[in-house]
Structure 1
Amino acid sequence: MKSFLLSGCLAAGLAACNGGGTTHEQQPMKPVNFGEDVAFLQQHLKNVVVLKHAGDSSGLVVTGDYQARVMTSTTGGNAGKSFGWINYDLVDSQKFAPHINAFGGEERFWLGPEGGQYALFFPPGKTFDFVNWQTPGLIDTAHYAVTAQSDTAITYQQQGTLQNYKGSSFTLQISRTIRLLGNSEVTAQLGFDLPAGIKSIAYETDNAVTNSGDSTWQEQNGLLSIWLLGMFKPSDQTAIVAPFQHIPNAKQHITDDYFGKISAQNLLIQDSLLLFRADGKSRGKLGLSPLVARRGAGSIDLQNNTLTVLFYEVVPQGRYVNSKWEQQKEPFKGDAVNCYNDGPLADGTQMGPFYEVESSSDARALNPGETLRYRQVTMHFEGDTKALQALAAQLWQLPLKEVEQFLAKK
């Protein structure tokens, strides 16, 4: 039996290769601003909501049509840079694709695990092969209903039942709130004041999964995790930045060969920080175990003078689901954080280009009525080189010259 390890948009890339999504020959990216993205989404979808603070140029757009997905955001109003990657071809088609609908978006809600004996993406008894792989409709095609809304926040809910590979059923309710953060909340999250001249957009998603059935979820039958995946626009001068715990043998808890070993020119692992090229031109994925993963993975784009950082919870001794497409020896020793750089497939086609930063909750045995909650904060910043240098130093103790030198590698 052939086994794979896929994750989020990585699965989407394989889906595209096998007819499960729209592909094309790689073309130079066309600059699209936030207003153009919003207009496109409003043209094709029924439930598009823009969240904004009054008198502020920052904002984001979310849709219940795509499972309460944050599609994109900006610091600069309609004419501003749009951070999220959107699959224009698939959205425009107005059709569902087989296996997965990779609509894009800078934060989407999923559930894990993908593969293994507790897989949510394979029916019981089938081999772990692409032909049998299917994203559950609850996190792929379902429309989520709005239950509360204001100018700066919106809450969606959906409920359903999932069956995993073992045959266990999970009756659950999903609740997801997206909320813009104010300046004081940004400062509180960061732990320091923003450098002068920085523009920002920041939002929190509060994600909850409740066991709405009448029996307790048990480890021997499989558990669920909340999985948040973000697809962002790359450039030739973009690097993913991921901090990790500086412990002995830390590199043993970082996996960098999911799609073949990532080359030294595309990956630099230091004592407590790694840099991963995010140019959308070379397909690769890495993962960090909860034993070393830290909050604060993100990216720096030196071409567009932007910095992105994500804050999430890591439970070092928690149970993190494993998504390998195989019968697993350790189904609860998966990654807490994943990073992906898109690139052409073997036949030259490519869905993107984009890059991705993902985080997952731990998995818990919930009693009836009990809830697993997982929050993530996404922040985008724009500013001049001096301001970004100050921000990168505060966040990661990272000189921009190190990023420049890394990206200059050939």
Structure 2
Amino acid sequence: MELFRHIMRNYLACGVLLLAACGTGQHQRQQQQPQAGQQPSISIPENFGADVAFLQEHVSTIVLKDSTSQSAIAIVPAWQGRVMTSTVSGNEGRSLGWLNHSLIAGGKVQPHINAYGGEDRFWLGPEGSRNSFYFAPGDTFDISRWQVPAPIDTEPFNIIQQSKAAVSFEKDMQLTNYKGHVFNIKTRRTITLIARRDIRNYLGLDLHKSIHAVAFHSANTIINNGKQKWDTAYGMPSIWILGMFPAGAQSTVMVPLRNNRTVNDAYFGKVPGNRLVINSRNKIAYFRADAKYRSKIGVKQADCYNYLGSYDAEHKVLTIVQFTLPRSTQRYVNAAWDPAAAPFGGDALNAYNDGPPAEGQPQLGRFFELESSSPAAGLKPGAALEHYHRTIHLQGEEKRLAPVVKKLFGVTLADIMKQG
């Protein structure tokens, strides 16, 4: 596993993509609960082609396809250029991202957050502390006051370049933090689909020819477009990338750990022991991803590596998320919903499992999230910070996935499936 971690530090690059079409299918996906004001849950085939057709009925969608395989991704510019879903095996293949079909079909903007879904969406931190962008100055830190800023929730990102290799977006936004300080931020974002033949470069090993695969990454940049330096006193934003995936009874998140192997599980209260298992011998944390218990974990920069993953034993899908993790110690923003919380010393990666919220609001849906964050951006006017976030899905027979799991995570598939 140490060899793989060394390789990961040296592979953050681009791939190849091409245009694709959409199709239909038969298998039905279990739907999420409708939110207040939404249309009732609808039945949608779970394959990629059907999801793309559904998206295109409601919003402009860009579909990119790898010419060397059947992998493809779907991107929606109107929702911050997010990657909504992907496939390893064409239109009839399983749709690997979580989509909020009811919200999308309803076409109505919701209060607090519009959780359209998507495997790679652009947000900004911090969510919590006195530097928060999600609570207005003077507000109490509770769900009724929490608000995702419109530029990263409902406003579109502008396409500035599109080719067979990538789609690039740009957005100028102005955000005010809890202190009342105004941030003028220029955002740039490029989505790239990686060719099947090049995935080995990012994993450090060859894949068996029977394994179906899709990989893509986002290159995300924020620029201080104002006249005020971003520092510890004024506040410093961070790039925050979140991926939403369909939860399942046999889905497990894996987080390799190092050093003192601590995991922050205080976001929504301590996670029960049957839902978060820390194996000190193998230096790995297992987190249940079944969307039946609202919970979140995080790991600090010093205690994690630049990747985490999940395994869906029912559909035999292994997901690996890689991201930029600096070697030198950096400040990370704090997401805790507490204005008294220390603004920095937050987590570099997170995993979230949705579930019925304690406050009694309806559940967002049957999904879990794999997330990464950049360091806090201490930028002078005109300066920039970049953060990469890569998603890789592998689907195939367990005996073919097992060597990949062993090399990347240092455990066996059997070890993972015991946690489900």
Which residue pairs with 2:150 in the alignment?
A: 137
Local SS of the residue matching 1:236: coil
Task: Return the alpha-carbon distance in structure 2 between the equivalents of residues 360 and 160 of structure 1.
Answer: 19
Offset, 1:23: 9.4
Deviations 1:84-122 (A, max 9, x none): 101111111111111111111111000011122111011
Say whether the 8 Å CA contact 1:243–1:295 is kept in structure 2. Answer: no
Deviates more, 1:105-114 or 1:264-273: 264-273
Q: Indicate whether 1:192 and 2:205 are aligned.
A: yes
Q: Indicate whether 1:404 and 2:413 are aligned.
A: no
Say whether the 8 Å CA contact 1:21–1:100 is kept in structure 2. Answer: no
Offset, 1:129: 2.8
Local SS of the residue matching 2:233: helix
Offset, 1:342: 1.6
Offset, 1:388: 1.0
Which residue pairs with 1:288 in the alignment?
A: 299
1:299 paired residue among 310, 318, 329: 310
1:98 paired residue among 79, 93, 111: 111
Say whether the 8 Å CA contact 1:52–1:152 is kept in structure 2. Answer: no
Q: Indicate whether 1:235 and 2:244 are aligned.
A: no
Which residue pairs with 1:166 in the alignment?
A: 179
Offset, 1:21: 7.5
Local SS of the residue matching 1:143: coil
Task: Return the alpha-carbon distance in structure 1 between the equivalents of residues 363 and 409 of structure 2.
Answer: 32
Which residue pairs with 1:9 in the alignment?
A: none
- Amino acid across the alignment from 1:35: G
Say whether the 8 Å CA contact 2:334–2:341 is kept in structure 1. Answer: no
Compared CA separation, residues 392 and 341, structure 1 to 2 (3 A): same
- Amino acid across the alignment from 1:289: K
Task: Return the alpha-carbon distance in structure 2 between the equivalents of residues 280 and 129 of structure 1.
Answer: 22
Local SS of the residue matching 2:105: helix
Task: Return the alpha-carbon distance in structure 2 between the equivalents of residues 55 and 325 of structure 1.
Answer: 46
Deviates more, 1:369-378 or 1:308-317: 308-317
- Amino acid across the alignment from 1:331: P
Which residue pairs with 1:11 in the alignment?
A: none
Offset, 1:258: 2.3
1:109 paired residue among 112, 115, 122: 122
Task: Return the alpha-carbon distance in structure 1 between the equivalents of residues 382 and 288 of structure 2.
Answer: 43
2:269 paired residue among 251, 256, 260: 260
Which residue pairs with 2:349 in the alignment?
A: 337
Compared CA separation, residues 109 and 204, structure 1 to 2 (3 A): same
Which residue pairs with 1:122 in the alignment?
A: 135
Deviations 1:49-74 (A, max 9, x none): 00112252100000111011110000
Compute the RMSD of aligned alpha carbons.
2.1
Compared CA separation, residues 21 and 336, structure 1 to 2 (3 A): farther
Compared CA separation, residues 31 and 242, structure 1 to 2 (3 A): farther
- Amino acid across the alignment from 1:296: Y
Which residue pairs with 2:324 in the alignment?
A: 313
TM-score (norm 1): 0.89
Deviates more, 1:356-365 or 1:307-316: 307-316
Say whether the 8 Å CA contact 2:112–2:148 is kept in structure 1. Answer: yes
Task: Return the alpha-carbon distance in structure 2 between the equivalents of residues 196 and 379 of structure 1.
Answer: 16
Deviations 1:150-176 (A, max 9, x none): 234100111021111111111111110
Task: Return the alpha-carbon distance in structure 2 between the equivalents of residues 132 and 402 of structure 1.
Answer: 41
Task: Return the alpha-carbon distance in structure 2 between the equivalents of residues 285 and 270 of structure 1.
Answer: 18
Deviations 1:287-325 (A, max 9, x none): 111120212201011110110001112236211100222
Deviations 1:199-241 (A, max 9, x none): 1100110000011112321220100000001110122111111
Offset, 1:329: 4.3
Structure 1 runs (4+) greater than 3 angstroms displaced: 19-25, 345-349
Task: Return the alpha-carbon distance in structure 2 between the equivalents of residues 258 and 216 of structure 1.
Answer: 30
Task: Return the alpha-carbon distance in structure 2 between the equivalents of residues 145 and 287 of structure 1.
Answer: 32
Task: Return the alpha-carbon distance in structure 2 between the equivalents of residues 59 and 49 of structure 1.
Answer: 10
Which residue pairs with 1:70 in the alignment?
A: 83
Task: Return the alpha-carbon distance in structure 1 between the equivalents of residues 345 and 212 of structure 2.
Answer: 39
Task: Return the alpha-carbon distance in structure 1 between the equivalents of residues 294 and 287 of structure 2.
Answer: 11
- Structure 2: tracts of 5 or more residues without a match: 1-32
Deviates more, 1:75-84 or 1:259-268: 259-268
Say whether the 8 Å CA contact 1:320–1:334 is kept in structure 2. Answer: yes
TM-score (norm 2): 0.87
- Amino acid across the alignment from 1:43: E
Q: Indicate whether 1:33 and 2:44 are aligned.
A: no
Task: Return the alpha-carbon distance in structure 2 between the equivalents of residues 102 and 215 of structure 1.
Answer: 32
Deviates more, 1:338-347 or 1:387-396: 338-347
Deviates more, 1:380-389 or 1:281-290: 281-290
Identity of aligned residues (%): 39
Say whether the 8 Å CA contact 2:135–2:178 is kept in structure 1. Answer: yes
Q: Indicate whether 1:325 and 2:337 are aligned.
A: yes
- Structure 1: tracts of 5 or more residues without a match: 1-15
Offset, 1:184: 4.7
1:79 paired residue among 92, 95, 107: 92
Q: Indicate whether 1:42 and 2:56 are aligned.
A: yes
- Amino acid across the alignment from 1:111: L
Task: Return the alpha-carbon distance in structure 1 between the equivalents of residues 161 and 38 of structure 2.
Answer: 34
Which residue pairs with 1:151 in the alignment?
A: 164
Say whether the 8 Å CA contact 1:72–1:83 is kept in structure 2. Answer: yes
Local SS of the residue matching 2:346: coil
Offset, 1:36: 0.7
- Amino acid across the alignment from 1:305: K
Aligned residues: 384
